[in-house]
Amino acid sequence: MKDKKRIDPFFWIAIFSTVTVVIFILFPLIEMVVQPSFQDLKETIQDPDVVRSIWLSIYTAGMAGLISFIIGTPFAYLLARKEFPGKKLVESIVDLPIMIPHPVVGIAILGLAGKNHWLGQIMQQVGIHIMGTVTGIVTVLTFVGLPFYINTVKTGFEAIPVRLENVSRSLGASLTKTFFRVTFPLAWRAMLVGIIMCCARAISEFGAVVIVAYHPMIAPVMIYERFTAYGLKYSQPVAVWLIVVCLMLFLLLRIFSLPKEKEA
């Protein structure tokens, strides 16, 4: 008790690790943003190809988020509320896209969509094309983004006491009405965060997209192409613009999803 003020060595270890991690993440990014000249940045954003690719990146990632929201929400609810045999297995299946190497995802999806597969034949007859199309990009982005949406929203649902739903049912509301009157209003923030997570993951995807659709070109593919063709100096400005636009979008959504002061 004598030297009360003596700080435990773990405190210094924690400080050291925090500083290391923050520098490790921020330093390369800041350097990249600072290195291109203002002139380069201005020229780059005036290039219609660049604008188109960034727009395509945001559009396809947004679609992946929307699709995840539609097909992932009921599933996340089921995982949060029900115990069933094989639940652990289903949960691991959801996590699979996180672990599979990205090009493998692209190859797997192309394998289904090709002429040699019955599904691919049906899809082509209906007019759905995966190879080199926006549809193909959205498909792989949904594939890689879905687990992030489902896991986030599942946690959000779990945070809502099941007793609220029990009371709602006892007051006469059906399961569906209970979902829309109680569960959804309490979980929409988690859903928005889930969509952000899913979109963020989708926007950063390169490996899977480059196999399914080199063209039309999403921003990461364009950055890669400019890097291999012209080098660092030409790829950096595109990267900077992608980062800036994405940061702004995510920041906006994030602010929107924060609880208001009053309710906190």
Partner 1 sequence: MPHVVSSFEDLFFTKREGSMIKIESLRIELPGFVLKDVELSIQDGEFFTLLGPTGAGKTLVLESIAGVAPITSGRIWVKGRDITHLPPEQRGIGIVYQDYALFPHLSVLENITYGLRYQKADPQASKKWVRALIEQLGLEPLVRRSVRYLSGGEKQRVSLVRALAVNPSVLLLDEPLSALDPNFREDIRDVLKKLHQEVKITFLMVTHDFADTLFLGQRTAILNRGKIEQVGSVSDVFERPATPFVAEFVGMKNVFPASFEGTKAIVDGLELRLEMPPGDRKSYVAIRSEDIIISKDRISENGMNVVQGKIADIIDRGLFHEVTLKTGKVAFKSMLSKRDLFSLNLSEKKDVYIAIRSSNIHTF
User: What is the phi-psi region of residue 183: left when phi exceeds 0, alpha when psi lies from -120 to 50, beta otherwise?
Assistant: alpha
- From the number of C-beta atoms within 10 Å of its C-beta (0-12, 13-18, 19+), residue 155 rates as middle
Under the binding rule (CB under 8 A), the answer on residue 159 touching partner 1 is no
Residue 40 CB, nearest approach to partner 1 (Å): 49
Residue 185 CB, nearest approach to partner 1 (Å): 5
Complex with partner 1: residue 9 or 86, whichever CB lies closer: 86
Window of 142-150, 165-173, 193-201, 208-216 that interacts with partner 1 by CB under 8 A: 165-173
Window of 56-64, 156-164, 203-211, 216-224 that interacts with partner 1 by CB under 8 A: 156-164
Whole-angstrom Cα distance, residue 39 to residue 23?
Answer: 28
Complex with partner 1: residue 6 or 82, whichever CB lies closer: 82
Contacts of 225 (CB under 8 A, 6+ apart): 217
Complex with partner 1: residue 116 or 176, whichever CB lies closer: 176
Whole-angstrom Cα distance, residue 261 to residue 264?
Answer: 5
Residue 263 CB, nearest approach to partner 1 (Å): 7
Under the binding rule (CB under 8 A), the answer on residue 263 touching partner 1 is yes
Site for partner 1 in 215-254 (CB under 8 A): none
Whole-angstrom Cα distance, residue 255 to residue 257?
Answer: 5
Complex with partner 1: residue 35 or 166, whichever CB lies closer: 166
Residue 212 CB, nearest approach to partner 1 (Å): 42
27 token code pair: 């330093």
165 token code pair: 């739903």
Site string for partner 1, 166-205 (x = CB under 8 A): xxxxxxxxxx-----xx--xx-------------------
Residue 207's nearest CA partner among 195, 224, 194 is 224
Under the binding rule (CB under 8 A), the answer on residue 134 touching partner 1 is no
Under the binding rule (CB under 8 A), the answer on residue 163 touching partner 1 is yes
Secondary structure (3-state) at 49:
helix
Residue 156 CB, nearest approach to partner 1 (Å): 14
Residue 160 CB neighbour total at 10 angstroms: 19
- Residue 22 carries which side chain, given as an amino acid letter? V
Complex with partner 1: residue 81 or 129, whichever CB lies closer: 81
Residue 56's nearest CA partner among 229, 242, 251 is 242
* Nearest-10 crossing angle of helices 184-203, 232-257: 180
How big, in percent rounded to 5, are the helix, strand and coil portions of the chain? Answer: 80, 0, 20
Complex with partner 1: residue 98 or 258, whichever CB lies closer: 258
Complex with partner 1: residue 129 or 181, whichever CB lies closer: 181
Residues near partner 1, by CB under 8 A = 161, 163-164, 166-175, 181-182, 185-186, 263
